[in-house]
Amino acid sequence: MSEHYDEHYINSVTALGDTHEVVTTQAIFTRNGIKLIDRGARINSAMREKLVRHKLIPAIDECLSVTDGVTNASLRDRAREILDNEPRFQFFRSSLPGTARLLNAFYAMPLNAPLAFKLTVARERRPEIFEHSVQMTLIALMLAIKSRLPERDLASVAAAGMLHDIGELHIDPALLRPGHPLDPDAMRHVYAHPMTAYLILQIYPAFHPEISTAVFEHHERLDGSGYPRGLKGEEIGRIGQILMLAEAVNALFEKSWHTHGAARLAVMLKMNRRKFDPELINHLVRLLNSGERAGPGGAGSVSSESVAAQLNQLAEVFRLWRHAHHTCPPGVTEEPLVAFVNQRLTDLERTLLETGFQPDELAAFTAGIENDTAALAEIQLMTSESRRQACDILKEVHRRWTALRDDSAGRAAVEYWVTRAQTLLQAD
């Protein structure tokens, strides 16, 4: 597994040694048998160049110990702090009769020394990954408990949740910063993180195949629109389905809780029913309908003019694709990327129709409600979610760009749409 321990992870490991006592528990060798570092050596940034230049045997996580590392007990304590102090988790806590089962799952989850070391690197050097993982795991466990999963499965959910993003430790941190532009090559690196995590976990029997597979699946979607494999329906395991929804909910709350509270969650669930398990969605819908909508619920100052402008832009995105698709020569519409874009946009249009929006007349929904702030706020949230989904299609197109030949008529049609759609949606 040493091929996954690239320079970005080595940077984090050696930097950890500058602030914590990181010591080798066994000698580290190069792949051709040359000893690099003796057992009992202290690791710090001075070792970086030596470690980066070589493929290591054993994998570096197998060779190191760290003081004050992550343990099951420390994970449980951090989860309790979040439940007690983070306002958005009061929303989830209210759905459970108590927190003992949820917190005990952190204590019961499998956690060996190499993976505990990796989580320690995340906690100390990449805290955004660590905190996201704890919070996502809390949501996943809530969904698992509401789905009546047995205790053993709760421990697996906790492990899969905590480890689902360990592949991101091997990505250049700059690529993961909000707003950082990603070219197709960088996007492939980012989209590969579930596979990287799977390859790391599969060598440990306690984590493979149940936990490793769920981690591999956490960005899939039931309608086939996810990644990295585009799985559909029952091809995705039960724990994977729980992680999918928990990841989406947590990502949404990280971005919008302070402005929209639980209101945006209601819109997201309404517009993504084909992507996630209906039973899991219904657990959240019942929670939303229980009157426990914690946190801010408004969208701030929303004008009918700005919402209408965004809706018109969204309608133009659909019109541009219909034009590009209809002008394709016979047979081109079956090319993989052309068919992909057409299916995804058709699904989004269908979702809008089901929620009461006519894609060709979107801006008309703001007529007559200029002074109804609640209605405008809901339409604005639905518009934002629709635009986000359109942007996701653009990202996936860039990732799949090699599916079309350079001289393909299909590529020309897709390029025509992508160029114009990106301009329309650039505010997102």
pLDDT at 291: 54
Say how far apart CA 325 and CA 417 lie, in whole Å. Answer: 9
Judge whether residue 257 has pLDDT over 60.
yes
- Between 19 and 254, the higher pLDDT residue: 19
Q: What is the largest CA-CA distance in the chain?
A: 76
Least confident interval from 114-118, 338-342, 349-353: 349-353
- For the chain, give every domain's residue range: 2-66, 72-289, 304-424
What pTM, to 2 d.p., does this model score?
Answer: 0.86
- Range 72-289 has CATH code 1.10.3210.10: yes
Judge whether residue 215 has pLDDT over 70.
yes
Judge whether residue 30 has pLDDT over 90.
yes
Q: Name residues whose C-beta falls within 8 Å of residue 248's C-beta, 6 or more positions apart in sequence.
A: 268, 272, 276
- Between 187 and 201, the higher pLDDT residue: 201
pLDDT at 428: 47
The pair of three-digit structure tokens given for residue 119, joined into one six-digit string? 């989580």
Is the Cβ–Cβ distance between 16 and 125 less than 8 Å?
yes
pLDDT at 235: 98
Is the Cβ–Cβ distance between 130 and 216 less than 8 Å?
no
- Phi and psi at residue 36, to the nearest 5°: -95, -45
Q: Name residues whose C-beta falls within 8 Å of residue 127's C-beta, 6 or more positions apart in sequence.
A: none
User: pLDDT-based confidence at 1, cuts 50/70/90?
Assistant: very low
Say how far apart CA 137 and CA 213 lie, in whole Å. Answer: 16
pLDDT at 363: 60
pLDDT at 231: 96
pLDDT at 146: 95
pLDDT at 300: 53
SS3 labels along the chain:
CHHHCCHHHHHHHHHHHHHCCEEECCCEEECCCCEEECCCCECCHHHHHHHHCCCEECCHHHCEEECCCCCHHHHHHHHHHHHHHCHHHHHHHCCCCCCHHHHHHHHHCCCCHHHHHHHHHHHHHCHHHHHHHHHHHHHHHHHHHHCCCCHHHHHHHHHHHHHCCHHHHHCCHHHHCCCCCCCHHHHHHHHCHHHHHHHHHCCCHHHCCHHHHHHHCCCCCCECCCCCCCCEHHHCCHHHHHHHHHHHHHHHHHHHHHHHCCHHHHHHHHCCCCCCCHHHHHHHHHHHHCCCCCCCCCCCCCCHHHHHHHHHHHHHHHHHHHHHHHCCCCCHHHCHHHHHHHHHHHHHHHHHHHCCCCHHHHHHHHCCCCCCHHHHHHHHHHHHHHHHHHHHHHHHHHHCHHHCCCCCHHHHHHHHHHHHHHHHCCCC
Read off the amino acid at residue 112.
N
Summarize the confidence of residues 84-92 as an average pLDDT. Answer: 88
pLDDT at 364: 63
Judge whether residue 425 has pLDDT over 60.
yes
Rg value, the chain, Cα: 23
Say how far apart CA 196 and CA 218 lie, in whole Å. Answer: 13
State percent of the chain over pLDDT 90: 62
Say how far apart CA 128 and CA 199 lie, in whole Å. Answer: 22
Q: Which residue has the tokens 């000893």?
A: 35
Least confident interval from 54-68, 99-113, 230-244, 246-260: 246-260
Q: Name residues whose C-beta falls within 8 Å of residue 256's C-beta, 6 or more positions apart in sequence.
A: 264
Of the candidates 73, 5, 8, 69, the one whose C-alpha atom is nearest the C-alpha of residue 36 is 5
- Between 300 and 325, the higher pLDDT residue: 325
